[in-house]
């Protein structure tokens, strides 16, 4: 009987080992890949996030897809994305740079880097942007000054000519980063400035283009793509221009009076060098990439969101009425301040709802796991690329009453007071959460309220509200298709 018992125990142990092994090594489910192509043939290459949303309905909230030979684990829905990014932020907190980006950045800067260099650059950028304004009165003043300049630009059209808001908003928003980084703003007709901003917008478009995405997956086949070549050229030109800016700043550097982020970086670099530290992360390439990152991450995103906001106002005039009624009642003619936000619940809800519905960075930026993990019963290996599908959270039917409509009441309670919503994560969450969130929120609030206070936005003559298209263009951030609006003065 003891032999029987031993045999039974062995069998049980084996069953346990096999079942736990197969459980813990189970890859997240997903569509069957074919060699080399992976799941590309079933992918909407212009809007891959749409395919990922479809797949999540079939395979659940943690699933695997193959972009060509590259395996990606996708996380979908509020509960899963939050659990990964917040509860397991150490595990899901590395970045997996696109190949093309890696060729331009070489692991420098903040957005696409990892390890100690990332940590130092992120910390330095955060404290310095704070010192040069982010979250502070000084920053508010800079934004307000820029709002006034933007009003002048919009006024030139005298409410008669319809125009595309795109470039004008990009210039205004870029100037905020210029003030914080270089220590001064530019005039809107300064060719040095306009070329810098225009290149950035073009770069964002190219980064999201199907041919560059294909290059990231199959470099050998798409090495000669025109878009990749153009992107590398743009990056080289921006590099040259920035190095020239840095030289000018270095020549007039006064360590007692830093004008902006670049000055602070140069001073830190000098201090470290003087104390004999030669292997610090404060080197020229990290300065260059961090500055280019702040521009790339901080201008298209905010100006695109503002464009959506104005387009939505023109499309939904009743909602625009309500915003303007609130602004007239609470603010009147004076300049809006950040402190007014709490007294403008409807306007605040409209801004949040714009960010939620437009969901401009649908798959966040690619993350990478820092170690093996069994997550929600699925085994994910160290170094796996992970896409947190932010758009699935911002449109999660379990969290939003009308996920696909423009419905500011998502952020209002019964008494019409503003309410925060935990599934509102356009800036992502956890260790890699957007570094510019507080700056972006301040910019969105001040630009939007100032513009709405001064202008009524309508479609171009002959275009009905229904005809305004909310489909998004293809690019790295989801932006509205080209369109024109009229800005009719209210004051
Ligand atoms: C990263 C959204 C404005 C700087 C990100 C990420 C998102 C995001 C989704 C990726 C997070 C992740 O990987 O999980 C937005 C939106 C903005 C905005 C929606 C405006 C409406 C800004 C501004 C700045 C900025 C104004 C600059 C001051 C950055 C940086 C990162 C980042 C440096 C990389 C953080 C890291 O990898 O550690 N942002 N952002 N963003 N954002 Fe923003």
pLDDT tens figures, 344-399? 999 999 999 999 999 999 999 999 999 999 999 999 999 999 999 999 999 999 99
276: left (phi over 0), alpha (psi -120 to 50) or beta: left
Residues 444, 433: Cα–Cα separation, whole Å: 18
The arithmetic mean of pLDDT across residues 436-446, rounded, is 95
Ligand 1 atom 23, closest CA: 298
Q: Is 365 in the pocket of ligand 1 (CB under 6 A)?
A: yes
Provide CB contacts within 8 A for 471, sequence distance 6+.
481
Residues 254, 267: Cα–Cα separation, whole Å: 9
User: What is the 8-class DSSP label of residue 336?
Assistant: P
Q: Which atom of ligand 1 is nearest to the CA of 173?
A: 26
Provide CB contacts within 8 A for 68, sequence distance 6+.
36, 37, 38, 40, 214, 217, 218
> Cα of 439 to ligand 1 centre, how many Å?
10
Q: With bands split at pLDDT 50, 70 and 90, how would you rate the model's confidence at 223? A: confident
- Reading the block at residue 167, the tokens are 């470039």
Annotated binding site for heme: 434
Predicted pLDDT of residue 140: 87
Does residue 15 register a pLDDT over 70? Answer: no
> Cα of 324 to ligand 1 centre, how many Å?
29
Residues 266, 264: Cα–Cα separation, whole Å: 6
Q: With bands split at pLDDT 50, 70 and 90, how would you rate the model's confidence at 153? A: very high
Q: Is 439 in the pocket of ligand 1 (CB under 6 A)?
A: yes
Q: With bands split at pLDDT 50, 70 and 90, how would you rate the model's confidence at 217? A: confident
Spatial contact of 423 and 394, defined as CB atoms under 8 Å apart: yes
Rg of the chain (C-alpha set): 25
Does residue 22 register a pLDDT over 50? Answer: no
The arithmetic mean of pLDDT across residues 82-110, rounded, is 94
> Cα of 377 to ligand 1 centre, how many Å?
30
User: What is the 8-class DSSP label of residue 430?
Assistant: G
Residues 22, 470: Cα–Cα separation, whole Å: 46
Predicted pLDDT of residue 204: 85
Residues 235, 206: Cα–Cα separation, whole Å: 11
Predicted pLDDT of residue 65: 96
Annotated binding site: 434
| DSSP H helices in 25-114 | 48-59, 78-82, 99-105
- Reading the block at residue 425, the tokens are 């994560």
- Reading the block at residue 38, the tokens are 């992976």
Q: Which atom of ligand 1 is nearest to the CA of 366?
A: 13
Predicted pLDDT of residue 19: 44
Q: Is 75 in the pocket of ligand 1 (CB under 6 A)?
A: no
């Amino acid at each position: 009987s003891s032999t029987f018992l031993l045999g039974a125990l062995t069998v049980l142990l084996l069953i346990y080992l096999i079942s736990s092994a197969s459980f813990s090594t189970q890859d997240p489910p997903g569509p069957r890949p074919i060699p080399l192509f992976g799941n590309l043939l079933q992918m909407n290459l212009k809007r891959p996030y749409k395919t990922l949303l479809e797949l999540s309905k079939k395979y659940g909230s943690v699933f695997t897809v193959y972009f060509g030979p590259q395996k990606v684990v996708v996380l979908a829905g509020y509960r899963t994305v939050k659990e990964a990014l917040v509860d397991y932020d150490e595990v899901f907190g590395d970045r997996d740079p696109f190949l093309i980006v890696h060729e331009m950045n070489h692991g420098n800067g903040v957005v696409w880097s990892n390890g100690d260099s990332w940590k130092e650059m992120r910390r330095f950028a955060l404290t310095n942007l704070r010192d040069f304004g982010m979250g502070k009165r000084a920053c508010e003043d800079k934004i307000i000054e820029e709002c006034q300049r933007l009003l002048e630009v919009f006024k030139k059209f005298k409410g008669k000519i319809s125009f595309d808001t795109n470039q004008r908003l990009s210039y205004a928003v870029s100037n905020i980063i210029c003030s914080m980084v270089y220590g001064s703003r530019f005039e809107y007709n300064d060719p040095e400035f306009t070329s810098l901003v225009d290149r950035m917008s073009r770069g964002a478009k190219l980064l999201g283009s199907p041919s560059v995405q294909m290059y990231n997956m199959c470099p050998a086949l798409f090495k000669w793509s025109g878009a990749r070549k153009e992107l590398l050229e743009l990056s080289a030109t921006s590099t040259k221009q920035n190095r020239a800016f840095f030289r000018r700043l270095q020549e007039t550097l006064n360590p007692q009076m830093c004008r902006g982020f670049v000055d602070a970086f140069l001073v830190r670099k000098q201090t470290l060098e003087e104390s004999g530290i030669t292997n610090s992360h404060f080197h020229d390439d990290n300065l260059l990439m961090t500055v280019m990152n702040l521009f790339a991450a901080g201008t298209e995103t905010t100006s695109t969101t503002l464009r959506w906001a104005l387009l939505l106002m023109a499309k939904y005039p009743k909602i625009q009425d309500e915003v303007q009624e609130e602004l007239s009642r609470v603010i009147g003619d004076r300049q809006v301040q950040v402190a007014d936000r709490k007294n403008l619940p409807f306007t605040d809800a409209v801004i949040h709802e714009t960010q939620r519905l437009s969901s401009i960075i649908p798959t966040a930026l690619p993350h990478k796991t820092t170690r093996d993990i069994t997550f929600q019963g699925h085994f994910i290996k160290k170094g796996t690329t992970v896409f947190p599908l932010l758009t699935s959270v911002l449109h999660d039917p379990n969290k939003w009453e009308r996920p696909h409509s423009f419905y500011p009441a998502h952020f209002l309670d019964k008494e019409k007071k503003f309410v925060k919503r935990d599934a509102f994560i356009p800036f992502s969450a956890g260790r890699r959460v957007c570094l510019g969130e507080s700056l972006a929120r301040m910019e969105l609030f001040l630009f939007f309220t100032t513009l709405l206070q001064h202008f009524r936005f309508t479609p171009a003559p002959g275009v009905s509200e229904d005809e305004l298209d909310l489909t998004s263009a293809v690019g790295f951030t989801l932006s509205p298709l080209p369109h024109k609006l009229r800005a009719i003065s209210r004051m």
